[in-house]
Structure 1
C-alpha cells in the first residue's frame, strides 16, 4: 500500500490527521458506508451549520433530511476498534445537530453495532428513528455468520427479538430485509413483518438491493416505507428503474454509500492502492486501470465545492437530496469532524439552473468498472421466488 499523502496546513488551521489514510481490511458486505476523508475548504470558508429540524418523508415515516450510518462504529476498515465513548459522543452530537435517523444492521459487527447504537441513543430514544436490517445467515447466540441468506419467517422473528435487546428498545422504527432470500417468497417475509407490526415490535418496513418485481410484490403485501440501495454520483444505477418505481409507489429512498466509499470526498487519488481485505481493492472502478479516468468525477465535485463554498462531501450529499424530496442519505463515519461536515450539507442549495448544469456534467462522465466484486454483487437485484 502506498504511503498516504501528508496533510498540509491551511489558513483555516491545521488539517486533521488521517483524512487521506487508506483503510485496511474491512467487512466484505455490500452495504459499505462512507470513509474518513479530506474536509479541505475553499480559502476563508467556514463550515455552515445545519438547518434545525429539517425533515423528509420515507413513505409515511418522517425523519431528518440526513441520517447517520453507524456500520463502522464497531470496527473500521483498518480493522481497528473505535473508542466506544467517542462513538457515543458522535451519535449524541449528531442528535444535537438535528439528526434523528440512525441506520444499523444485525450484520454489522455482527450485532455489536446495534449494541453501540442502543446505548448511544438511550438518552433520547423516543425522539429518534432507528433502522436495522435482517436477512444474512447469522447465528443469534454466537453472532457467527454462515454463508448465504436466511429470511425464513421464524428467523426474522428471532432476529427482531435480538435486535430489541441489543438496541435497548421496544420497537424497531424501520426494519429492512438486507438482501432478498432467493428461497423465501417475499409475501412470507411481509407476513412475518406484519405479525411483528401487530405486536408493536416493528413500525415500518423496507427492502435493500431487491429486484423491482420483488419490490412491487412486497408493497402489495404490506406497504413499504423505504428502499435502501447504493446511490451516489459514482453509482447512479437506481435512476433507471428503482427510483422511478419508488416515486410511482410512494416509497422513500435511502442511499447507502452516498459518498462513494470515500471517493467523492477527495480521499482517493490516482496513486491510491488498497490493502488486502479492503473491499475497494477488489472493486474494478478503483483499479489502477480505471481509477485515473474516474477521478474526473472528483475534479467536477471539487470545482462545484469552490463554486458553492462547500466541501466535496457536502456537494455530493446535497446533490442526492436535490434529486428527490424523499431521498435521505445516510453517510457513515467514526470521526466527529466528518459527521459535522456531513450534517452541514443540508444548507447547500442548488438553483434549478445549477442543478440542471450539474446533472448534465455528472451524466457526461462515464464511470469505468463495477461498483462491487462479483461475489457481493450477486446478492443485489435478486427476485424472490413466487408464492407457491
Structure 2
C-alpha cells in the first residue's frame, strides 16, 4: 500500500467532502483502447479506496454503460459507504446516434439507469456531462433539483459549461462542482470559468485529464503504445505536426522534475494540486503502479518560484492543437436559450 497521506478536501460549499485526489475510471472501459480485464480493474478500485482515494468518477457514456456496471460490481459488499461516487448524464447513444440531451424526461431516465447499473440508491455527485444547447439550463437543473429532493442525488455538478451557464444553473439549485479539463497544457479555463466558480459562487473544481491524457506521463513516445481504437490518436494535439512542437513542453517539465526528484507526471499533477484546496484532480489509470505514482504527487511540494517557472513554460500559446477538434462539444458552445423560450 502507498504510504502517501491522500487527505480530504471540501468540494464546493454545499457540504460534499472528497479525497484530495480522485480516480477517473473511464479508461478502464472505454475510449482508451479495448476494455481492461474486469478483475484487475476491480482490484485497482479497491486498492485506490484502501489508499484513501475514495472519489470515483464515471459516466453512463463510458462503454456506454459498461463502466458504471464495473463500478457497481466493485462497490458491492460494504464498499459503497466508503466512497464518494460521481457519474454523469447527457450524451445519449440510443439507436447508435450520438445526441446531447438535457430534457427532463431524459434526465430522469438517465438517473434511474445509472442508479440501477451502479447498484446504489443515491448518486453522491451527478453531473450534466455536456450541456444541451436546445434546452434552457434552468429546465435541466430543475429536474435535477427534483432528483435531489427525492433522495436519488445528493449534489449536482456541471461539465464543460460556460461561466454564464454555470451562473444560470446555480440560481436554480446550488452547483457543487464543475468538471473541466485543467492541466499544464489546458489552461484556458483560468480566464473566466475558474474565477466564476471560485470567487463568485463557491463551486468546487474537478480537473479531468490533469496529466494531459497521458502526455505528461510519457511524452511523445506514448503515441507508439496506443492501441487500436484509442481516441487520442485522433485528437489534434497528438498529431505529428503538433506533437513535434508540444514535446518541448514535456521536455521542459521533465527537466524540472529531474531536479525535484520526481517524475514529470507527478510534477504536472502537483501543479494542479497546488491550485488550491477547492480543486480535486481525477487522473485515470488502469495500473496499480501508475496509481501509486499519481498519489505520490501529493507529496511533491512546489515553491511559488517553481509554480511561476512551470506556468511560464506552459503558457496558453505553448501548446499547438485544439483539445478535441470540432467533433466534441465543449464549454465554448454551451450557452442555452432563455427559459422563456421553453415549450415542453
**TM-score w.r.t. length of structure 2:** 0.92
Match of 2:124 in 1: 173
Instruction: State which of 4, 20, 25 in structure 2 corresponds to 1:70.
Output: 25
Q: In 2 relative to 1, CA 302–62 (structure 1 residues): closer, same or farther, beyond 3 Å?
A: same
Match of 1:313 in 2: 265
SS at match of 2:63: coil
Give the superposition deviation at 1:74: 2.1
Instruction: State which of 96, 100, 116 in structure 1 corresponds to 2:70.
Output: 116
Match of 1:348 in 2: 300
Q: In 2 relative to 1, CA 215–317 (structure 1 residues): closer, same or farther, beyond 3 Å?
A: same
Q: Using the alignment, how far apart are the partners of 2:104 and 2:221 within structure 1?
A: 45
Does the 8 Å contact 1:290/1:369 carry over to 2?
yes
Question: Please, which moves more after superposition, 341-350 or 279-288?
Answer: 279-288
Give the superposition deviation at 1:282: 2.7
What is the CA deviation profile of residues 120-145 of structure 1, one whole-angstrom value per residue up to 9, with x for unaligned ones?
Answer: 12232112100000001244xxxx54
Does the 8 Å contact 1:270/1:292 carry over to 2?
no
SS at match of 1:203: strand
What is the CA deviation profile of residues 27-68 of structure 1, one whole-angstrom value per residue up to 9, with x for unaligned ones?
Answer: xxxxxxxxxxxxxxxxxxxx9732143434333311111100
Does the 8 Å contact 1:179/1:380 carry over to 2?
no
Instruction: State which of 89, 93, 104 in structure 2 corresponds to 1:134.
Output: 89
Does the 8 Å contact 1:209/1:381 carry over to 2?
no
Match of 2:37 in 1: 83
Does the 8 Å contact 2:87/2:125 carry over to 1?
yes
Alignment of 1:1-388 (within 5 A): 49-59=3-13, 60-75=15-30, 77-79=32-34, 81-122=35-76, 123-139=78-94, 145-247=96-198, 248-269=200-221, 272=224, 277-363=229-315, 366-377=318-329, 380-388=332-340
Q: Using the alignment, how far apart are the partners of 2:5 and 2:268 within structure 1?
A: 17
Q: Which has the higher helix share?
A: 2
Q: In 2 relative to 1, CA 274–127 (structure 1 residues): closer, same or farther, beyond 3 Å?
A: closer
Q: In 2 relative to 1, CA 244–86 (structure 1 residues): closer, same or farther, beyond 3 Å?
A: same
Question: Please, which moves more after superposition, 113-122 or 358-367?
Answer: 358-367
Q: Using the alignment, how far apart are the partners of 1:378 and 1:51 within structure 2?
A: 34
Q: Using the alignment, how far apart are the partners of 2:261 and 2:255 within structure 1?
A: 10
Match of 1:39 in 2: none
SS at match of 2:246: helix
Unaligned runs of 5+ in 1: 1-46
CA RMSD of aligned residues (A): 2.1
